[in-house]
Amino acid sequence: MELRQLTALVTVAEVGSVTKAAKLLHVVQPAVTRQIRLLEEELGVALFERTRHGMIPTPAAEALIERARRALHELERARAELAPETGEVTGVVSVGLLESVLDVLAQPLTDAVTRRHPGIELRLFTGYSGHLQQWLDTGEVDLSLLYDLSDTPSLSVVPLLKERLWAVAPPDAGLAAGSPVPWAAVLARPLVLPVSGHGLRALIDRARSAVPAAPRIVAQTNSMLLQKNLVRAGHGWTVLPAAGVAADVAAGRLSGGPLTEPDVERSVVLGRQRHSRPLAPVEAVATALTRLVHELVRTAAWPSARATDRVQ
């Protein structure tokens, strides 16, 4: 099993096409096909289904692809760490970001790291908190923002902030950041909610259980973007962290305000593997991320949030 075979495997799986993979790898298409075929012959299993819609990994390939991706990531990090000392922090750092913080955090974090540490290549992954925690456990990401998590045997976390949940409605509802919205007013409306099992849904269910009202749920989804689109189309109201709707409220696409009676907060923490060796690029990104979060809270760019740790 060779490095170029694993590279071909992961690239084809990610783009779904041998032709596209060949372009990305700067090789001819038959070379990629040959690497996949040699790997299949060595393992004795088919790794892809060749369909009209592209190359689909077989069930046998999924576990190998996951491990190959981690191995390639570790090799890239090792190469960066062993590069000649230049006095500059260099390396590849993978960061997990929650879907609800992308609008307020992704671009400013990239700007901050690029400005302070141009030798660091950032890789940003997004997902729900449960998925991000799994990726952190398996080493697919070096750092990750997570919700409502304490230290575990494998992970250590640093609390960054607490944020209030917001009621989110179409623009003509006239909700505003300075006017808290009682849960009873939200539950009187048709609702578009996250699916059961989602961390945000658990908070919503816990809060609404204290209000004597039977909500009418018109739709459930695992996509925050779809939640917002359905609300904007007039299908109902929803509940989201303020960071996830700040840009939409500012642009007049939605209206929103902090929930009250009861107030509901959730904690955002920065997690990393407990037993991982401290690496200069990872530490540099962790510091930049922590400082940025505090600055966003201080300037109210992260609405309805309060910092819960000290700036590093």
Report pLDDT digits (tens) over 264-298.
888 999 998 877 667 888 999 999 999 999 999 99
Residue 57 pLDDT:
87
> What CATH fold (topology level) applies to the domain 162-266?
D-Maltodextrin-Binding Protein; domain 2 (3.40.190)
CA 258, 289, 283, 73 dihedral sign is positive
Tokens representing 148 are: 């409502």
CATH 1.10.10.10 fits 3-80, yes or no: yes
Mean pLDDT (whole number) for 112-116: 93
Domain 88-161+267-298 and domain 162-266 have a common topology: yes
pLDDT for residue 209 is more than 90: no
Domain definitions of the chain by residue range: 3-80, 88-161+267-298, 162-266
Residue 288 pLDDT:
94
Domain 88-161+267-298 belongs to what architecture?
A: 3-Layer(aba) Sandwich (3.40)
Residue 225 pLDDT:
92
Q: By mean pLDDT, which of 50-54, 80-84, 231-235, 241-245 is the weakest? A: 80-84
Q: How many CB atoms lie within 10 A of CB 155?
A: 20
